[in-house]
Structures are given as C-alpha cells and as structure tokens.
Structure 1
Amino acid sequence: MSEAVERIPAPDGATIALHTFGAGPGIVVVHGGGVTIGIYKRLAHRLADRFTVHLYNRRGREDAGPRQEPYTFEQDLADLGAILEHTGARNVIGHSSGGYIALDAARRGLPIERLAVYDAAVGVAGGFPAQWLDAAREAAARGEVALAMALTAGGINTQSAASRLPLGAQVAICRAFLRTSIGRMMGQLLRMTLDESQQIRLHDAPAEAWSGITAEVLLAYGAGGPPYYAGLNNALAGAIPRARVLAVPRSGHDGLNRAPARIVEPLAEFFAYSIEQFRDARPRA
C-alpha cells in the first residue's frame, strides 16, 4: 500500500507532515510517547484496505516541528484539531499518552465521532501508577538514561518479571536495550516521555471528569499488559455515556503497533458500526 506525505499548517505556523495510507473513511492515529510513527505503519497497512489512515509525528520527533517548553498537552491538542479540520476525518485512534490526548480532544469538543484508545494513559482517581516518576525524572536530568529507563519500565510495566528484579539488573537490561535501534529511539525521547507522564499525573481526576465526551468510545486494553488498565477503562466506561470496554487477549502495551488481527478486526468493526451494534456483537469485558 503506497504512502502519501502532505505538509499542512499547524496553528502556531509550523508544519505537520501527514502520512496517509489507503482509501475509505478517515482515521487519525495519535501515537504514544517514546516512539515515532514508524512502528504504527503495520497498523496503517492492515486498516488501509477499508480506511484512509493518517499518521503524523507529534512535536519534537523526526519530521515534526519543535515542541513548546514548558511542555503541556495544549500543542498536541491544537495539532490534532488542525489535522481533523484538514482531513475531515471524524475517527481517531489513540495509544498510551496519545490516548489521553485523543480523549481530552473529544472532551473539549473537537469534531470526533468515534474514538478508539488502546492502553490510554489516563489518571483516574490515582489508578495510573506514578510513584516511580520523580526518581526517573531526576535520573534523566543527570543524564543517567539507563537508570531512568529502568525506573520507567519497572514503574509502568508492573506485570513484567523484569520489574521484580533488583534495580541493578533492570539497569543492565536497559543498557543493552539502548544499543538496539528501538532502544536508541526510546532513549532519545525519554525526557519527552517523562514530561508526558508528569502531565498525566497532574491531570489525574475522578472518572466523572470525562462524562462530557459525546463521541462513541472504544476503550481497549491488552489483557497481557499492565493490569491497572482494566480498572481505568472500566471506570471511564462508567462515566462516558457511549463507551465500551474491550480486553484484547494475548496482547501487551505494544499490541496496537504489532497490529494482530485480534486488535485490527475489532477496530475495523468499531469504525464501521455504531457502538450499540458493536456492543451487541461482542460480550462486555
């Protein structure tokens, strides 16, 4: 499937490089922290026979413009709004911190009709772990990237066997990971990831804070990933009027970018049918 690249204006005068695949109803993908759109191209290709999929790098990454400092989510929200306006797309997929941005965009009234999030990093009444964050930010500020990454990975991936190893062993694993191509990318973007985690912590709120979302929302999470996502999504589903929870079996936090059929097909169904039809077709998680 061919990829078209178009540059569109951002509200602050920068340009947004929009990478587009396929044909059909439009879907905009808001990627997670610590990565770029490269790892989401498999997802785009697997949806492109039915949808027009738009990927874009969020600020400070590859072909994106510079990120405003001090960082807040406001610039991300403005860029997403510009993309929705330009493309006319009304469907959005958000992953991890991109899921927070997408949910907040829907809450603020951006023109989103259907929103699917996967492992959305949303603080709901203290349910998203953040005890690790101060130490990780301090380590990153000192330039101790492997330590900061180990604290981050262990704090977020509470289900992993590695998170129960001594910290020194976790640091050694991360030091080896940083020598891989994806590890180098995540290491280079780690401070940005930690800034996003800080914003998520600062915006922790009761689930009812999200009750104003009128879009149809699919709250998906990997059943093989961090266990707290189940509680977060169920709390959000209880507050968002037209929301549905989907637990994806045998999938971790990286499930969306791996894009197996057990994730892609429910997404395609959701964007093709109403939330009521989707609910009738699939048992509630």
Structure 2
Amino acid sequence: MELVMARDGVPIAVHSTGTGPGIVVVHGGGVTIDVYQRFAAALADRFTVHLYNRRGRGDAGPREVPYTGSQDVDDLAAVLAHTGSSYVVGHSGGGFVALSAALRLPIARLALYDAAVSVDGNTPSAWLPAARAAADAGDPARALAITAAGINTHQAASKLPLGLRVAMTRLFLRTPIGRMMGDLVSMTLDETALIHAADGPASRWSGVTAEVLLACGADGPPYYVTGNEALAAAMPQARAIVIPRSGHDAINRAHPRLVEPLADFFGAPAPSRDNATP
C-alpha cells in the first residue's frame, strides 16, 4: 500500500498487485475495493492493478459536501499521476466517474462495465425520491429495496410488493456485503442523483479520445446495452460488447468471460501512427 497525496492534501491509499502495465480501477458506488480483490488477482499476472477507495469508503478520507463528482475526478488524476498509469477500468457509478475523467485526463484506454451513464433518459429515475426519503429517515432496508427494484427493472423480484422486498433486504443486510451497501446507501443515492442530473445525448461524450471498451452483462438491465451502443457511436475510438451469462457483479466475480476481453483490450498493441485516424 502506498499513500498518494490528493489535490486537497488528503492522502489516498493505493493498493497495488501484479506486474506489467498499470490499470487503475474506479469502483462502484455502494461498495469498497474489498469486492474487487478477485478481479485484481485475475489480471495480476499480466498487469499491475491499482485499487483505491473512493472518498467516504473504507480507508479513504471524507467525501465533499455537497457531492459534485469533481473530487472523484481529482483523486483519479492523482492516482494516475503517481502510478504512471494511463489505463482505467470503471464499474457502475465508477464508470461515470471514469468517463467524466476521460474528458480531461490523459487516459489512453478505458474499459467500462455496466457504467452508470444516463443517455437521453434511458435509465429509470422515478424511484429515486422514495429511496432518498427512506435513507433520510434512517431506513436503509427500505432505501435499498426501492433502489434495487428501480435499477434492476429486468428482474422478477422488482415486481414483488414493497413490504416483501423490504423484508428480504433486511436479511441481506445481515451479510457482509449487505452491511456495506446499507452503510453506503445514502452516498450511493447522492451519486445516482448526480448521474441522472448529467443525463443528455451521447454526443456530450464525443470529446473522449481514449480507446474505450463499453462492456455490459447480458443478464443485466437492457438499458446498459442501448446506452453503450449510443456511446460507442458518439466517441471516436469506442466499441461496445455484451458479456454472456453475466450480471452487474460479474466484474467482482472475475469470470474469464469478462476478464479475458478486458485483458485483450489493455494488452493489444497501440495503433500505429500510419493507421491512426487523423
């Protein structure tokens, strides 16, 4: 573990493993780097993987109030500069952070998995006020139950009565991952509100010049597929792929069906100047 000084003077703990070109992972909103250890290990024989907790989580410092996302981008800039990396992986809400950063940071290659980027209103948001009210009332089980149904529109469980979903979530909160997500639900909702506030046409991301791989799981919400297709058409060096038999947590499970396409993307030779698009 190394400490990197953030722009505001707060140290960032960077946990690195492996050997080879550096990849910085920007994790999702409701978790810490703990759930990405398997993913880092799966790439460690080919790459040096750098994990760090985003503000307000794990061993990270406090998050800015109000939350604007700028601190997340500044912290990623500090980690990239310290590690000398130009490759980034972003997952879920971390995908939004990473894509935002790619508009102004020297990122050469960016892989996103189920990136929480709203394009022309394609992601549902009507559930957000109710979830926010539950979190503000100190009821994380209700907040998480509303959030899960609002995000996972493709799942049959999202159609169950709210009372039953809350009861199921209370059981989930007894697990380590459930406790983590419950503790972080308020921050997750802040992040979700920012993502929806940034909704707009895919063309707003056309200034991203990095090579971009937009991946999503075939077993996840369909709006990731349509969103990725629109983003791939808008960015000059982007392409979209769908990972079979994979849900939102596939990156944490680190199955080869996801790890290998990402490794191939980061391991590919850089395009020659002769073949580069002017």
Q: TM-score range by the shorter chain?
A: over 0.9
Partner secondary structure for residue 171 of structure 1: helix
Alignment of 1:245 with 2:240, yes or no, is yes
Equivalent in the alignment of 1:60: 56
1:237-281 Cα offsets, whole Å, 9 max, x none, are 11011101110000000011111000000000000115889xxxx
Partner secondary structure for residue 55 of structure 1: strand
Equivalent in the alignment of 1:46: 42
**Of 54, 58, 71, which aligns to 1:75?**
71
Alignment of 1:181 with 2:165, yes or no, is no
Equivalent in the alignment of 1:127: 122
Name the % identity: 62
Equivalent in the alignment of 1:202: 197
Letter in 2 for 1:31: H
Contact persistence 1:242–1:275 (CA under 8 A)? no
Equivalent in the alignment of 2:186: 191
Between the aligned partners of 1:224 and 1:193, the Cα distance in structure 2 is 22
Partner secondary structure for residue 28 of structure 1: strand
Partner secondary structure for residue 106 of structure 2: coil
**Of 60, 85, 88, which aligns to 2:84?**
88
Contact persistence 1:243–1:275 (CA under 8 A)? no
Between the aligned partners of 2:96 and 2:29, the Cα distance in structure 1 is 11
Between the aligned partners of 2:166 and 2:269, the Cα distance in structure 1 is 46
**Of 255, 263, 266, which aligns to 1:260?**
255
> Shift in Å at residue 128 of structure 1?
1.4
- Give the 3 Å change call, closer, same or farther, for CA 195–275 of structure 1 in structure 2: farther
Equivalent in the alignment of 1:27: 23
> Shift in Å at residue 160 of structure 1?
1.2
Partner secondary structure for residue 163 of structure 1: helix
Contact persistence 1:92–1:116 (CA under 8 A)? yes
Letter in 1 for 2:218: A
Equivalent in the alignment of 1:217: 212
Partner secondary structure for residue 129 of structure 1: coil
1:87-135 Cα offsets, whole Å, 9 max, x none, are 110000000010000001111x201000000000001110111110011
Letter in 2 for 1:153: A
Between the aligned partners of 1:153 and 1:274, the Cα distance in structure 2 is 40
Between the aligned partners of 1:21 and 1:130, the Cα distance in structure 2 is 37
Partner secondary structure for residue 261 of structure 2: helix
TM-score using structure 2 length:
0.96
Contact persistence 1:216–1:275 (CA under 8 A)? no
Letter in 2 for 1:195: D
Between the aligned partners of 2:234 and 2:271, the Cα distance in structure 1 is 17
1:164-216 Cα offsets, whole Å, 9 max, x none, are 11111111111110111110010000000000000001111100000011000
Between the aligned partners of 1:67 and 1:212, the Cα distance in structure 2 is 28
Alignment of 1:140 with 2:135, yes or no, is yes
Letter in 2 for 1:226: P
Between the aligned partners of 2:267 and 2:52, the Cα distance in structure 1 is 23
> Shift in Å at residue 144 of structure 1?
1.4
**Of 135, 138, 150, which aligns to 1:155?**
150
Between the aligned partners of 2:194 and 2:5, the Cα distance in structure 1 is 26
Aligned structure 1 segments of 4 or more residues deviating by more than 6 angstroms: none
Letter in 2 for 1:136: A
Alignment of 1:165 with 2:183, yes or no, is no
Unaligned runs of 5+ in 2: 273-278
Partner secondary structure for residue 110 of structure 1: coil
Between the aligned partners of 1:241 and 1:199, the Cα distance in structure 2 is 25
Aligned length: 272
